[in-house]
Amino acid sequence: MRKKVLIFAVLLLMTGVSATDARKRKEQKKENTVLTSERHEIDNFDFLYNDTQYDGGNASFTENLLDEAFSHIGTRYRHGAKGPSAFDCSGFTSYVYRQMGITLSPSSRDQYASNHPVSRRDLQSGDLVFFTGRNARGGVGHVGIVVDVNADGTFTFIHASTSKGVRVSQSTESYYINRYVGARRVM
C-alpha cells in the first residue's frame, strides 16, 4: 500500500509539474508574441535610429512608380495612344500613375495645369516635367517623369519620345535644354 501511495504521489507531483510547465510555456509563448509584435513596431521606426531621412512612406511609392515606368522601356510611340502597347507622352504618364491608383488627365496641358507647381531646385523623383512641343511656341507640348535629380538642377526623366518610344533622357540634351517649361508634383 505504501508503494501505491508513493507511486501516486510521484505521479501527482509529475502531473503538477507538467501542468505548471505547460502553463509557463503558454505564458512564455504569449510573452514572446508580445515581444515580437513590439519588435515589429519598433522596426517600423528605424528611421529614428539611422541617418536616412524618412519621407512619409513615399519612397516605396516612387520606387514602384518608376519600376512601372521602366517596365515600358522601348514601347513604341503612337500619337493619342494610352498604352500599354503604345503611348504618346501624356498617355504614358497617365498610364503609369493610373497603375499606382492615381488618375491623371490624358493631356499634358491638363497635367501641367492641374498639379502642384514645383521649382526646379525642389524636383524629386516621380515629379512630372514639362517641355514645349516641336513648334516651340512656349506652351506645354511634352511631359515626362523625373527619374533622378543632380545637385546642379539637371535631371534624367523617362518619357515617350516620338522617335524612340519610351526611353530615358537628360534635361541637358540639346532638344530639351531650352524647351523646359516647368514641373508639377502629383499630390
Strands of the sheet with 116-118, listed across from one edge: 116-118, 180-185, 128-132, 140-149, 155-161, 165-170
142, 144, 73, 61 alpha-carbon torsion, rounded to 10°: -150
Q: Is 57 helix (H, G, I), strand (E, B) or coil?
A: coil
How confident is the model over 6-62, as pLDDT tens digits? 555 555 555 554 444 555 555 554 444 444 333 333 333 333 333 333 344 467 999
How confident is the model over 65-117, as pLDDT tens digits? 999 999 999 999 999 999 999 999 999 999 999 999 999 999 999 999 999 99
CA R_g for the chain:
30
The answer to whether the predicted template modeling score (pTM) of the entire model surpasses 0.75 is no
